[in-house]
Chain A
Amino acid sequence: MNHQNVQPSKNQIKTRVIQNVIFRSLFFVAITIALVFLALLIYRILNQGIGYVTIDFLKNFPAPYIDKAGIFAGIMGSLSMMAITAPVAVVVGVSTALYLEEYAAQNKFTRFIQVNVQNLAGVPSIVFGLLGLTFFVYLFNFGYTLIAGALTMSLLVLPVIVVAAQEAIRSVPKELREASIGMGATKWQTIWRIVLPASVPGILTGSILALSRAIGETAPLIIVGAATAIYTIPDSFLSKYTVMPIQIYSWTSRPQAEWQNVAAAGIIVLLVILLVMNAIAVWIRNKFQNRY
């Protein structure tokens, strides 16, 4: 090989390596932008709202005056809603997943249900709001009540829970099932005592994440009539109610700038609750991961 041929190829390698380095930093910058946005968002909200998060704010009802407004009705409304949504969505969701994974025959009907669940997960949340408005508010005549909102929410998170539960159930090794059946257990005994306990961590993690989605969801509840000015805690299925995101939305849309600080305070409370839920989910996932 003579000297003249080596020289240009050395240059070529140099440009390729430099290109690689340049793009590497470009890619890094891109991901940093995303992270900076997150940091900025959290910093802004903390900065604006932290001074307004007081004990009074946590235990006051909505009020027309900034120093008297509070998020108590929102917190209690969100909790009451979850008290209905969580059992309904988890029972129906896990049952659907069990049916699809353990019982369903490999036929067109099963495939149809599967595709249907996937498509439901992609339907915009506001369309679920319209569904709830027609069925729960008007047809079932619940009106703008807690149960109408909670059932709408259950349907909204259902597909997410189904998919998470299916994955958890699928990850239980076949040997466990075969061993149980071999010992003379029936199919349901195997599922109830072997498969479900083994997949509980996955199901719990998925469900908590799905429900934390539901707690932050606003649009469908606006449609099914969550109110903004509520001065009581919901005490029955047919109570009027409000939830945290609705309160935040109503404060955000006031024209006076000071209300935005109150909104920021509400957001802090909401984010803290979401953070706790997510932390629990991550903790469960890490604690019970890779048992098999």
Chain B
Amino acid sequence: MVNAQEKQAYTVQDKRQYSVQDMINKNKNKKSITNFTEKAVPVFLLLCAIISVLTTIGILFTLLRESITFFSKVSLSDFYFGTDWSPWTEKFGVAPLIAGTLLITFIAICVALPIGIASAIFLSEYASQRTRKIIKPILEILAGIPTVVYGFFALTFVSPLLGSFITEMKIFNALSAGIVVGIMIIPMIASLSEDAMNAVPNSLREGALGLGATRLEVAIKVIIPAALSGIIASVVLALSRAIGETMIVTIAAGATPNLTLDPTQSVQTLTAFIVQGATGDTSYHSTIYYSIYAVGITLFAFTLIMNILAQYISRKFREDY
């Protein structure tokens, strides 16, 4: 009996000893796992962050490698100064594509600049809180519509509509594509400019109003100068979007490389050619295949310069209050 009690006590003690040891061991394990996670996680996160850098390097590598092959077959000066673009007959003068891109972009900015900035002024300086809360999300819907839908709209609605006014208008034309690209970038200009105007401190507004200025005078003489860097940056970003826009121009502007400034004609942009070149009967190592990348690197250079310019403007000329 005594023996049994002793035995039991001993077992309990043994169990206790065991469990403390176990706890220590367990904790040790836990600690080492925690330590390991603490060290491994930053490495994993860094690797993920590097993916974005690799993407950029990948883009540059892709564009450069294939373009260099292209320029070993077609000379740089033939490419950039040639005025005849018909790749299927081995004529690679990129000027018509650049002209097409610039024409579309110009039309787009003519539509988007006045409407976008006027909308921004209205939202920031005239509209009540409630109106702004309703209108801003609606404008954002405009920004969220897929470009293929805009292209469909340009081809099936805007183009026939314009054609009923202007008889020489082609079905595929620069004007309707340009107008719709303009509509697409309105929300971008409006919302970024409005942000810039909103960031101007209220004391400036109230000061000017207190001196007897009308709202219009406040907007034009106080708010716009103060927010100018943000407004210009928004326009430059929108320009870059318009240059890189693909589906609207592919669907509505046609596929005729045309060195013209006549908006009623069909034109081909840099982006539209990339689509055509990639979908047509192009084999992997043909000159046309490489020409896609030469056009791509030209497009990339255009948009990159625009984006860097926008960042530079908004940093350099920002008015701090």
Contacts and interface: CB of A to CB of B under 8 A. Distances in A.
Interface of A: 16-17, 19-20, 23-24, 26-31, 33-35, 37-38, 40-41, 44-45, 48, 91-92, 95-96, 98-100, 103-104, 112-113, 115-120, 122-131, 133-135, 138, 155, 158-159, 162, 186-189, 209, 212-213, 215-219, 222-223, 245, 248-249, 252-253, 260, 263-264, 267, 270-271, 274, 278, 282
Nearest to B125: A27
Contacts of B52: 96, 113, 116-117, 120, 158-159, 162
B146 A120 contact: no
A130 B296 contact: yes
Most buried by B among A33, A99, A120, A263: A99
Nearest to B212: A13
Contact of A125 (B246, B284, B311): B246
A35 B217 CA distance: 26
Contact of A34 (B115, B274, B284, B304): B115
Contacts of A48: 156
Contacts of B119: 27, 30-31, 34
Given A31-B118, A34-B119, A125-B246, A41 B153 contact: yes
Nearest to B66: A134
Contacts of B122: 24, 27-28, 30-31
Interface residues of B, number: 83
Contact of A19 (B63, B147, B214, B284): B214
B279 interface: yes
B279 A222 contact: yes
Q: Main secondary structure on chain B at its contact with chain A?
A: helix
Contacts of A186: 34, 38
A122 B274 contact: no
B104 interface: no
Contacts of B139: 31, 34-35
Interface stretch (B20-28, B41-49, B84-92): B41-49
Most buried by A among B51, B65, B152: B152
B263 interface: no
The 3 closest A-B pairs by CB, nearest first: A124-B244, A216-B146, A30-B118
A179 to B, nearest CB: 19
A222 B277 CA distance: 11
Contacts of B278: 129, 133, 222-223
Given A103-B46, A218-B146, A16 B214 contact: yes
Interface in B230-261: 237, 240, 243-247, 250-251
B51 A92 contact: yes
Contacts of A117: 52
Nearest to A260: B156
Interface string B133-160: 0010111011011111111110111000
A119 B304 contact: yes
A35 B135 contact: yes
Given A99-B48, A116-B52, A130-B296, 19 more contacts: A16-B214, A24-B126, A34-B183, A92-B48, A96-B52, A99-B42, A103-B42, A119-B56, A122-B304, A122-B306, A124-B271, A134-B62, A159-B52, A209-B144, A216-B144, A216-B146, A218-B246, A252-B151, A260-B152
B15 interface: no
21 contacts: A19-B216, A24-B122, A24-B126, A28-B122, A30-B122, A31-B115, A31-B119, A91-B48, A99-B48, A115-B311, A117-B52, A119-B307, A120-B56, A124-B244, A134-B65, A158-B55, A186-B34, A215-B146, A218-B148, A252-B148, A271-B149
A16 to B, nearest CB: 5
B114 interface: yes
B121 interface: yes
B45 A95 contact: yes
B70 interface: no
B38 A38 contact: no
A267 B152 contact: yes
A229 B11 CA distance: 76
B126 A223 contact: no
A223 B55 CA distance: 17
B49 A100 contact: yes
B71 interface: no
